[in-house]
Structures are given as C-alpha cells and as structure tokens.
Structure 1
Amino acid sequence: MAKVLITGGTGLVGSRLIPLLKSKGHEVVVLSRSKDASKPYPIFEWDYKKEYIESGAFNGVEAVIHLAGAGVADKRWTAERKEEIYNSRTKTSFLLYNTLKNIDNKVKTFISASAIGYYGLDTGTTNLKETAPVGHDFLAHVVDAWETSTSKVTDLDIRLVQLRIGVVFSKEGGALVELLKPPVAAPLGNGKQYMSWIHIDDLCKMFLYALENDQMVGTYNAVGPKPATNREVTEAAAKAFDKKYVPIPVPGLALKVVLGEMAKMVVGGNRVSSEKIMEAGFEYDHPKLEPALKHLKSM
C-alpha cells in the first residue's frame, strides 16, 4: 500500500476518490489552501501564488495524484477567470515539480488529471484516440500547457500517468446536475454533439488502477466506452431522474447569451475512444448509459 498525496482533494473527484483509496489500504494526505480539522486525513497548506508548500507534506509520500484546478464551468470566462483556469493548473504543476526536485522524497508515481478538452471543443463524430492532435481553442491551449507542465516530473525519474477526463456524471455536481437543473430537460444546441461521459465511480477506479499498475505510463482517455449524443444523454437522464423531457432543443444563440464563450462547451462535443485504457486491462463497472444513470440515482 502507498502513501498518497492528493491536490484538489475537496473537489468533485477528490472527495469521492479519497474514501476509495483509504478503503483499499492506502494512506492519504492532502494539499489544501486551508486547514480543516473535521477532515479524516492530514491536510498540509499550499499556495501556488506564493510558491509555498507546508514543510513535511511529502514525508513518506510515494505517489502524487494531482487534481487541482479552478472549475472550468463555475464562472463566466472573463479575462481574469481564464487566467485563473490556466494558472491553477500549470503553476500548481510547476510548484509540485520544483518542490520534488529540491527535497529528498520517495515519490515514484505521479498521476495527473487532464481533460478531453485537449482535442478542442467541437470535433464532430471523429473517434479520437490519444494520438489525435491538440485543438486550437482556449481550453485546448490550457490542457496542452497543463500536460506540458506535469510532464516535467519525468525528468525526476517519476512514472507519469495523465488521465484526460471526459464528462463526469455524478449526483454531487458537474454536467449531469446542470442538465437536470432547468424545470424541464431539453437537448442543447442541435443535440447531435457527442458527450464522452464517465460515471464518477469508474473515473475514481481509473485513478486507483493507474496508481496500482506500474505498467501504465503516459496519456489515457478517461472516458466511458459508449459516448452518446447530447439528446440521448438528456432524454435518458430525464427518464432516470423522473424529470420531464422536451425534445425541442435550446438554441445555441440563447446559450451564448447566458453562458458567453462557455457556451462552446455545450454546443460542441467530442467522441473519444476508451480503447487504450481498456487494452491496459481496465474494466468498467458502469459502461452503459441508462444503467449508469439509474445507479447514480440510487446512490
């Protein structure tokens, strides 16, 4: 069993991943901007803007799981917010690298969150593997820089795994909650755009799998095996959560008025391949859309 340091531990993924890691016998410590005595794990403070990590954070740590990053869909994309989205990923990665470079440590594995935004906000029906080229929009630029910054740890002879996370389905937040928030559920844009979704428990299981399997190295798409269109997802989610569904799409122009530049995230889409992670031996607990949604409702 490993001692694992996690950044972004209080976020949607981290808050679900930590109990899983502990249930498997791993010891967990967390980097956070503030202490919280109520949490069932040690917390060490850090501040990437001050280039500060509390002393002792890496004592005995054998693996790092790097989830930190400002929420992409939490606020409108002002110039200031874009800077925060970028810096909260790249500067935290550089801070971790520089700290590990300059202290004695036992870290042998570094697993970093990434995102399928790497490929661009709208790639149509093309089945995207990890070798597909980087996109040209804001989020693609962010993810490319994010992966470049985390790649620095390989200079320290540390095994690196980068998981390009798709659309995470959870009852606690994220895309599924937003889809079901309006009084009635309806497709967004033309509804034909693909959503490469993944159940949050399968995503957390992927992080655990990457931690425990030394043969995993490099970049993997962290998506489910069955992408679906926005229309298919919305209709299935409405049915699973007893929500009224209206097949009339919400126009892209209306979404742009409400969301600004962020609207490109919901009117665009990606069809992303899970072939590589499956070839690495990963097995899904929730591969199919409707059963996955029913499971989430029952949680």
Structure 2
Amino acid sequence: MSKNVLLTGGTGFIGSHLIEMLLENGYNVSVLSRSSKKNNPQVTYYQWNLKQNLIDEEAVLKADYIIHLAGEGIVEKRWTSRRKKAIVESRVKPIELIHSILVKHNKTLDAFVSASGIGIYGAKTDHKICNENTPPANDFLGTTCQKWENAVDTIGALNIRTVKVRTGIVFGKDEGFIKKLAPTFKSGFGAVLGSGKQYLPWIYIDDLCRIYLKTIADEKLEGPYNACVTDNTTNSRFSKTFANLFGYTIWLPKIPPFFLRFLLGEMSEAVLKGQRVSSEKIQETGFQFQFTDLEKTLINCIK
C-alpha cells in the first residue's frame, strides 16, 4: 500500500514542488492548510488554524510521515518584536499541536521530518566551515532555529524517527529568492550587498525535494542534515554571475551596510552576513546533488 505523507506549509514554494515529486514517487499526499481552496485534485486538504489552536486530527491520524514546512518568511517583513514572535511561533506551534494529537491518540509515525535553516549557525561571516555539530548561535536566527529544532525533539521523545533539514537559500525557476531579485537584475540595476564577502549557501529546489524524499525513504537518516551546495558562493560572486546572465557587468557601487541597516533594521544581518556550510553529512548517505554549478543553475532558473 502507498504510504501517506502529510505536509504543513504544503501550498508554498517548496511544498508545491515537493508535492509533485511525492506524487510522482507513488505517495499519497495530504496538506494542512489555512485555506479551504484545493489546489491539486490528487491531494487531500485538511484545515487548521494556529491562532485558535485548531487542527483537523484526522490529518495526523492518517499520516505515516509528516513533513513540517510551515513558517512565516524570514525576510518578508521588518523584524519588529511582533514579527519575531510570529516567525518563531509559526514554526514551533504546529509541532506542539501535532505532538498533542500524537500523545492523545497514542499515534506513532514512520518519521517526522522538519525544515530548519542554516541560520542556526548565526548571522556572521568568517571562514569557518559549519557542520551539523557546530553549536547554535545566540542571535535571532540561531535561537529561532534552535527553538524550532527543540520542538522537533519532543516528537523524537515519542520514539519517532525525526530528521531536521537545515536549508540554505533555495533557488527555483521564477520563484522564491530568484523571483525577488530577477526584476532588479534584469533591468540592469543589480548590485553587490555590503562587502559582498558574505557566503551564500544555496540549493536548487529539485535537489531539496529529493533530500526530503530521501529522509522519508531511508530509515537510517535521523537528526540534522545541512541542505546546501558546498561551493563557497559569496554574495559578490552570485550577484556578478546573475548580472552576466542578463548581459551586463555590475556597474552600480556596492550597497553600503549602513544603508541596508537603515532600510531593513536588524533583518539586514540576514543579508549582510552568511556562513560557509558543509553538506558532507548528507552526501555520506549516498545523496548526490544534481545542481552544483552556480551559473548553470541560475540559467535553469530564468530560462
């Protein structure tokens, strides 16, 4: 019989791609959504409301695997106190609700897989290469990811295999990170941010979805895994490569840090700093990235 996979955040950029790949691989897919809209006739949709602590229990009880992708965008809005709270709660609260249902019904799962972020290593730039054993940072991104992963551990305490996918910047065709930047670069106004030396660990959407498939199919996978290409791409290299694809060399001066801090506040740290991150652990499981060349990947995103 086909296994049932339940997704939170299944209507977003990553979730919509992952659904297609899961269906292609013979899984039954269901989605927890705030909307009653049914985007895909092959998917079963269940409703939830985090503000009211409501979740359709049937969604959890029918699941063999749960993949948790839900969460407010990190760089969508300025980091006010209210926004920070929403970012954390949108990641942690769904896990708490799912945990309560699992306990209430003594329900087990084949695996619980959660998104996380390389932001756990902090908003800082140095030459140290971070791996899964690197301690979490004490800044906002670091503590957010730590709370996120601590919530996942409560599922693990129920004797359920758990996996945490620490994701880098996700590239995709006309979506996500690329969608935000493409209009500016296409119009000839691309620029390097800050010093340009900050690292930009990235992953193409297809590779990320293949990692999620591996986390549910491979019972040996457990704990955190970095999901990004280890090629030491910096903001400067990315920006110059992206501009070249639109037929020009960057002519604007680097956007100074003080201007970005004025414009974005504390959130500017997310774009002004970045870590080198190793993907050795996931590759040691036999996973092979299909998209490792920055220029070719970016061409694939805009063609």
TM-score class, shorter: over 0.9
Residues 98-142 of structure 1: CA deviation (Å, up to 9, x unaligned): 111112535210110000110101142211111011111111111
1:206 to 200, 211, 235: 211
Amino acid at match of 2:181: L
Aligned to 1:231: 236
1:256 to 246, 255, 261: 261
Give the TM-score taking structure 1 as reference length: 0.95
State the 1:174 CA deviation: 3.0
Checking the alignment, whether the CA contact within 8 Å between 1:191 and 1:229 is kept in structure 2 is yes
Checking the alignment, whether the CA contact within 8 Å between 1:185 and 1:243 is kept in structure 2 is no
Distance 1:55 1:111 in 2: 18
Aligned to 1:217: 222
Give the TM-score taking structure 2 as reference length: 0.94
Distance 2:99 2:226 in 1: 23
Aligned to 1:24: 25
Amino acid at match of 1:238: A
Stretch moving more, 107-116 or 288-297: 288-297
Distance 1:106 1:22 in 2: 23
Amino acid at match of 1:118: I
CA pair 97-209 structure 1, distance change in 2 beyond 3 A: same
Aligned to 1:124: 126
Distance 1:97 1:104 in 2: 10
State the 1:52 CA deviation: 1.4
State the 1:243 CA deviation: 6.0
Q: RMSD across aligned C-alpha pairs, in angstroms?
A: 1.6
Residues 235-281 of structure 1: CA deviation (Å, up to 9, x unaligned): 11222344663362111111112212111111101110000000011
State the 1:181 CA deviation: 3.6
Distance 1:269 1:177 in 2: 20
Any gaps of 5 or more consecutive residues in structure 2? none
Stretch moving more, 174-183 or 209-218: 174-183
1:65 to 61, 64, 67: 67
| 3-state secondary structure, aligned to 1:30 | strand
Aligned to 1:98: 100
Amino acid at match of 1:85: I
2:197 to 180, 192, 197: 192
Amino acid at match of 1:154: G
State the 1:197 CA deviation: 0.7
Checking the alignment, whether the CA contact within 8 Å between 2:79 and 2:267 is kept in structure 1 is yes
Any gaps of 5 or more consecutive residues in structure 1? none
In the TM superposition, 1:140-159 aligns within 5 A as: 140-159=142-161
Distance 1:112 1:133 in 2: 19
2:277 to 254, 272, 297: 272
Aligned to 2:251: 246
Amino acid at match of 1:128: C
Distance 2:254 2:242 in 1: 15
Stretch moving more, 85-94 or 104-113: 104-113
Checking the alignment, whether the CA contact within 8 Å between 1:180 and 1:238 is kept in structure 2 is no
1:48 to 47, 50, 61: 50
* Number of residue-to-residue matches in the alignment: 298
CA pair 236-107 structure 1, distance change in 2 beyond 3 A: same
Stretch moving more, 115-124 or 289-298: 289-298
Distance 2:167 2:141 in 1: 13
Aligned to 1:286: 291
Stretch moving more, 104-113 or 118-127: 104-113
Checking the alignment, whether the CA contact within 8 Å between 2:108 and 2:160 is kept in structure 1 is no
Amino acid at match of 1:234: S
| 3-state secondary structure, aligned to 1:192 | coil
Stretch moving more, 244-253 or 155-164: 244-253
Distance 1:49 1:179 in 2: 32
4+ residue runs over 6 A deviation: none
